[in-house]
Copies of this chain bind each other. A is one copy, B any other.
């Protein structure tokens, strides 16, 4: 979906005031890391030549800018927060691509495929550190509070990613666990983006809280849509193969909801994805093959990691679990829908979008900015990729 004129104008305005700050911050990195980060952000090609293209859509910078305006402050006050959140977001993308072994992002090779895993790891570490370090250097008395909020959100995001990873090796994940993980993984940082401008503007706690809640609900709605696209999205717009999340046996919302339906079809889905149930001694069931084992109580448990190509060489190979055939992917996709996973997730997207819009009514916000935040939220949730 193309943004409406109003949304497009907001995105462009945010980019205009945020990108110069990001370029200034990224300019502080040593050359060998700066090149990698500039490539990842879309500013340069792999040889370091400027592309002249803008980076991503800039949803987070737009939220940060609008949150300052919503708190009756100048948009420029929110921009440093938007830049810092965007740095954290991109640090997580660089590390995610490495963990997932994804070779493409936005139709370009990922950082680790070009520079190797070690440089991808260091570039992510550098961006993560830069975000807070740079934000603390902004001459604004509220910068420490903004940095603290960003740190707390980043910690929650990483906790969500760790849960997501642990879920991969568990047979059973409840929808509550799945939603809590999505709130942490995606909602925390969007909640920070949607309130950091208000924090930098010194807004009252009630305003900051309402904006954060707006962003958190928006994040869950966004993740629900992402999970739908991960199964039913058009590969030409998502840039990922059709049925990708089924093939990777992700514990995404549609799959978890379908597995929890408790009927014959959900049991068939479980068998297709994870094979026959093996009852373990203590009554808990676990997946027979685990990439890095985690027990079913959510606490991790180490397992020797022996699928590297040689002694002392870490490998990200996702265990020895057998790949699903195309027929199995097709059947599982049909079963997820038949078990109501698709409808349930779409309902979650709508419910959390409504909750997000409701949060905006809780505080005394500038009406123009409230409207712009609502428009942006609808655009984000109704996008197709």
By a beta-carbon cutoff of 8 Å, the part of chain A in contact with chain B is 28-33, 35-36, 39, 46-48, 95, 98-99, 101-103, 112-126, 128-130, 132-133, 136-137, 143-144, 147-148, 151-152, 154-155, 158-159, 161-163, 165-166, 291-292, 294, 298-305, 308-318
Q: A116-B303, A128-B129, A314-B316 are in contact. List 7 more A-B contacts (CB 8 A).
A: A35-B301, A99-B118, A120-B314, A126-B158, A136-B147, A310-B317, A313-B316
A163 touches B317 (CB 8 A): no
Partner of A114, one of B46, B121, B305: B305
B128 touches A99 (CB 8 A): no
Q: Give CA–CA (A148, B36) in the complex, Å.
A: 24
Please indicate the chain B residues that have their CB under 8 angstroms from the CB of A163 in the complex.
Answer: 30, 32
A162 touches B312 (CB 8 A): no
Copies of this protein in the assembly total 2
Partner of A136, one of B121, B144, B301: B144
A301 touches B47 (CB 8 A): yes
Q: Give CA–CA (A151, B48) in the complex, Å.
A: 27
Please indicate the chain B residues that have their CB under 8 angstroms from the CB of A316 in the complex.
Answer: 116-118, 313-315
Partner of A119, one of B120, B147, B162: B162
A309 touches B317 (CB 8 A): yes
B299 touches A165 (CB 8 A): no
Task: Give A215 Cβ to nearest chain B Cβ, in Å.
Answer: 18
Q: Give CA–CA (A126, B165) in the complex, Å.
A: 14
Partner of A33, one of B162, B305, B315: B162
If A117-B315, A304-B113 touch, does A299 touch B129 (CB 8 Å cutoff)? no
A311 touches B129 (CB 8 A): no
Q: Give CA–CA (A151, B133) in the complex, Å.
A: 5
* Nearest CB in chain B to that of A35: its residue: B300
* Nearest CB in chain B to that of A97: its residue: B314
Q: Give CA–CA (A339, B130) in the complex, Å.
A: 40
Partner of A30, one of B120, B162, B315: B162
